Structure 1
Amino acid sequence: MTTDTKPEKPATRLPRRMPGWAKVLTAVVVVLVVMFAGIRLSLLPGLRDFFGTETHDRSGPALLESIQDMSRYDAASGNFQVVVDLEKDAKYLPDAIRGTRTLYVGAGTVDAYVDLGKVGDQDVTVDDDRTSATLRLPHALLGKPALDPDRSYAVSKQRGLFDRLGDLFSDNPSGEQAVQKLAVKHIGEAAKESELIARAETNTTDMLQGLLHSLGFTEVKVTYHA
């Protein structure tokens, strides 16, 4: 007599849980793959165009908030260019891990003007024959530096590993606000050291003398006071 026996089923093994350090390592590998993939796309223009993005301007119309009457005479404008070399280091960490360095070329203009709205009746003297006039004007002033985005650009950007990872989750990766502010500051300082104010006062004097000469004045004297 034979007895039928059923074959024993192999014991099923439960999947092992991934340890915590392995999860962290996997996340770092994924991030590095994404970074290197972006570099590869930048080196291959064809793939970059294939995965390119389209830009759509859905901005609303600009609204006029106010109108102001201008009484100043813009007599001169200076064009400036500055190379900003901004480096930020982290304590106790090498630059390859944490740190940024940006080389930025900033181009902008600064206007010099004379505020004719500050000229009062006591500042204008005309003789009885209306052939001679004396004008006392305030000294010329410098306007705020205006950075030109079309002529300003970043030459190079160097970032540590942590800074690159932070840019992936940042709303404004590789922001240039810091170097732009420095460029505006240096341009304003250069304008103060230039002859822009003197040129503005000379041009204002020439303009007023030409205007009054056309009105019949033979002698026109223009002075500037604080």
Structure 2
Amino acid sequence: MKKLFLVLSALVASATAASAQVEIGVKVSPSVSYLRAESPSSTAFANESSKFSFAGALIVDYFFGENYAFGTGLALTGKGGTISYTERNPLSSSSIGTRVNQKIATQYIELPVTLKLFTNELAPATRLYFQLGGSLAAPIATRINNEKFYQDPYNNNNETKASEHVFVLDVNALLGAGVEYQLGHSTKLLAGLSYHRGLVNLDHYFEKTRGFSDVAIKNNVFALDLGMKF
């Protein structure tokens, strides 16, 4: 967490020293997130439903050419969704098992590291942009089934913190595109779409605590990005 704020401070300091090359702004990103879940057929982890999430971010674009910029900033994002898996009672002779749903919602502090490519003006004061790269995210709050603690009825009602179910780091691939409109001398409006594909297995409970094998749970987010640069 401290490292993220130090990076942000360095970016702001750079903006002060070279304001002609740096654009700073804010954006909000309503999004739809879901969890890509998979495992062997014995537990059959799967995605069940998505959730509406929301993000707010400081954006910093450092231009190293007229149409090229290093895009970064700092964001507070919400991710998650509902997954299901099969629980089998070892004392039962049934091979069917019970399907269990689990809703996971996590808030992250996220640092994007991207390249932004801008077109020349396609209309007066209007340019398209394309963004690609990745992001690093650290979870700061997690709820399972809307609770901060999870009591597992299939594991002797053992109670654990919801935050302990999620790995301490998430890494995402990021692809985006949008339009930027010059509203004034230094004011710009932007609107775009972005896709954030989680690359890290978030599961820190089922394999570690329950002994399930080869469980993989990863984030997926589709976002609408609306912002303003100053």
Output the TM-score relative to the length of structure 1: 0.29
User: Which of 1 and 2 has greater Rg?
Assistant: 1
Higher strand share: 2
* Larger RCO of the pair (alpha carbons < 8 Å, separation 6+): 1
Structure holding more helix per residue:
1
Q: TM-score, normalised by structure 2?
A: 0.28
